[in-house]
């Protein structure tokens, strides 16, 4: 996994807040505020964080479904940040998305076969009998029967609808698939089936996932590396095992400590954060987490920490211990 497929540098997405009769701008929502990461070919990068921290906005910005305010997005070494819709069209085949709510992302007036085959028809890759055969093969790949191609979305269960969405994403043979909380709307038993399907498909086809979730157990199962977001910024990136064994940022430590343990006799950890998440309209100066961090220093209020390498591919944005974060090795 040495080839870099996706490289995002200092990505920002700000939304204006307007009020009054004349709809004048009175503020700015800092939804994504300087995010940088890379994704290698055949790799799964998990993106985790609290609801509202900007995970889905990062996903949509990477795919150019929303226009970034600033920053750079490179796909296969080519800068796609400011490409026109026409120039971007060939790259659309290389990147696809699986949305959170499968029912909301499927057209209720179209059959499942037409939904999956639409992308092939739009890009001129197949038609007629060939199109039908390719769609039938895609259905088989995601564990659906070809005769179900004639059914409408409401005739499927939640897990089956998400399999249709996965088949649609596979149709163009992409190199990058963004999974925006693809299992959060499903039952726990169905979640495992869909996650295992995604892993099997990656092994067969070798594409990369940007996997967005708030369930740490799901992220731990599917990801190779994990990036932790807080208030529009990435605060820590590391290999899956390293991050769960040795989290360095106080926010990451708080996230892991918040996971319930299925043992009534286990010692309960004291909460590591105080207060509520600040508003993205008026984010704190310096380190965005300093208002809730129990280990914050005076310089944390004024100085924004950069995402720095601490060894073995572990990056952390924290001023503690000379920029290496808080030592909290979990045995």
Domain-wise residue ranges, the chain: 249-331
Helices 112-122, 158-170: crossing angle, 10 deg rounding: 20
81 or 324: which leads in pLDDT: 81
Instruction: Assess whether pLDDT exceeds 70 at residue 53.
Output: yes
pLDDT tens per residue, range 28-44: 999 999 999 999 999 99
Predicted confidence band of residue 178 (pLDDT cuts 50, 70, 90): very high
Burial class (CB in 10 A: 0-12, 13-18, 19+), 266: exposed
Instruction: Assess whether pLDDT exceeds 60 at residue 329.
Output: no
Instruction: Give residues with Cβ within 8 angstroms of 250, minimum separation 6.
Output: 272, 273, 289, 293, 294, 295, 318, 320, 325, 326
Calpha distance 297→294 (Å, rounded): 9
Instruction: Assess whether pLDDT exceeds 70 at residue 244.
Output: yes
Predicted confidence band of residue 1 (pLDDT cuts 50, 70, 90): very low
| Sign, Cα dihedral of 196, 198, 200, 202 | negative
**pLDDT, mean over the chain:** 90
Mean pLDDT within 302-330: 84
For residue 117, give Cα distances in angstroms to 9, 64, 109, 200, 281.
Answer: 34, 22, 14, 22, 42
Residue 275: the pLDDT is 79
Predicted confidence band of residue 330 (pLDDT cuts 50, 70, 90): very low
* pTM for this predicted structure: 0.90
Instruction: Assess whether pLDDT exceeds 60 at residue 331.
Output: no
Mean pLDDT within 221-239: 95
Smallest CA-to-CA distance from 238 within 307, 286, 190, 189 is with 307
Residue 265: the pLDDT is 66
Instruction: Assess whether pLDDT exceeds 90 at residue 135.
Output: yes
pLDDT tens per residue, range 194-215: 999 999 999 999 999 999 998 8
Residue 323: the pLDDT is 75
pLDDT tens per residue, range 251-291: 999 888 887 776 676 655 556 677 788 999 999 999 999 99
pLDDT tens per residue, range 76-107: 999 999 999 999 988 989 999 999 888 889 99
Residue 324: the pLDDT is 78
């Amino acid at each position: 996994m040495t080839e870099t497929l996706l490289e995002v540098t200092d990505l920002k997405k700000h939304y204006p807040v307007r009020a009054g009769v004349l709809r004048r701008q009175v503020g700015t929502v800092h939804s994504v505020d300087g995010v940088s990461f890379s994704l290698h070919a055949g790799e799964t990068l998990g993106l985790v964080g609290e609801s509202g921290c900007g995970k889905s906005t990062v996903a949509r910005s990477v795919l150019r479904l929303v226009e970034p305010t600033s920053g750079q997005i490179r796909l296969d070494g080519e800068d796609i940040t400011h490409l026109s819709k026409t120039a971007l069209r060939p790259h659309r085949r290389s990147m696809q998305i699986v949305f959170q709510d499968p029912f909301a992302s499927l057209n209720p007036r179209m059959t499942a076969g037409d939904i999956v085959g639409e992308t092939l028809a739009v890009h001129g890759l197949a038609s007629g009998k060939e199109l039908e055969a390719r769609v039938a093969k895609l259905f088989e790949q995601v564990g659906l029967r070809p005769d179900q191609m004639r059914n409408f979305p409401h005739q499927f269960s939640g897990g089956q609808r998400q399999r249709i969405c996965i088949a649609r994403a596979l149709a163009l043979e992409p190199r990058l698939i963004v999974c925006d909380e693809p299992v959060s709307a499903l039952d726990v038993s169905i979640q495992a089936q869909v996650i295992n399907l995604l892993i099997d498909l990656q092994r067969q086809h070798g594409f990369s996932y940007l996997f967005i979730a708030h369930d740490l157990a799901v992220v731990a199962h599917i990801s190779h590396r994990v990036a932790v977001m807080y208030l529009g910024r990435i605060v820590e990136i590391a290999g899956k095992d390293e991050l769960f064994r040795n989290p360095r940022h106080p926010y990451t430590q708080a996230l892991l400590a918040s996971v319930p343990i299925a043992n009534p006799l286990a010692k309960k950890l004291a909460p590591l954060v105080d207060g509520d998440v600040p508003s993205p309209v008026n984010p704190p100066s310096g380190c965005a987490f300093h208002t809730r961090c129990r280990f914050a220093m005076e310089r944390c209020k004024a100085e924004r920490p950069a995402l720095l390498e601490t060894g073995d591919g572990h990056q952390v944005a924290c001023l503690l211990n000379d920029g290496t974060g808080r030592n909290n090795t979990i045995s």
